[in-house]
């Protein structure tokens, strides 16, 4: 199954995340299928960039977002509750 989830990158104590489509069996920072956006929680307010068309395409194909990614998508009006 494909999941839309966060992949951590960035320096120690300065986290940045990529929003990626990945196989549910791969590790958090492992292999992924496509980068769908970024999330930087350390800025005020948090910086989010999204490829909305690609995210919607993955959701239509049956990809499941994690809880955190779902909250980000709902906050940015890409997905409804």
User: Has domain 2-75 been given CATH number 2.60.40.1170?
Assistant: no
State the pairing for strand pair 2-9/16-23: antiparallel
The answer to whether 65 touches 4, Cβ cutoff 8 Å, is yes
- Can you list the alpha helix ranges (DSSP code H) found in 1-81? 52-60, 67-75
Mean pLDDT score across all residues of the chain: 94
- Distance, CA of 57 to CA of 81 (rounded, Å): 18
The answer to whether 21 touches 33, Cβ cutoff 8 Å, is yes
20-36 pLDDT tens trace: 999 999 988 889 999 99
36-53 pLDDT tens trace: 999 999 999 999 999 999
Q: State the pTM of this model.
A: 0.90
Domain boundaries defined on the chain: 2-75
């Amino acid at each position: 199954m494909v999941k839309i989830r966060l992949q951590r990158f960035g320096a120690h104590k300065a986290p940045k995340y990529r929003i990626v489509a990945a196989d549910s069996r791969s590790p958090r920072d492992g292999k992924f299928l496509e980068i769908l956006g970024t999330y930087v929680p350390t800025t005020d307010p948090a910086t989010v960039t999204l490829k909305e068309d690609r995210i919607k395409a993955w959701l239509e194909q049956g990809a499941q977002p994690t809880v955190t990614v779902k909250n980000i998508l709902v906050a940015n009006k890409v997905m409804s509750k």
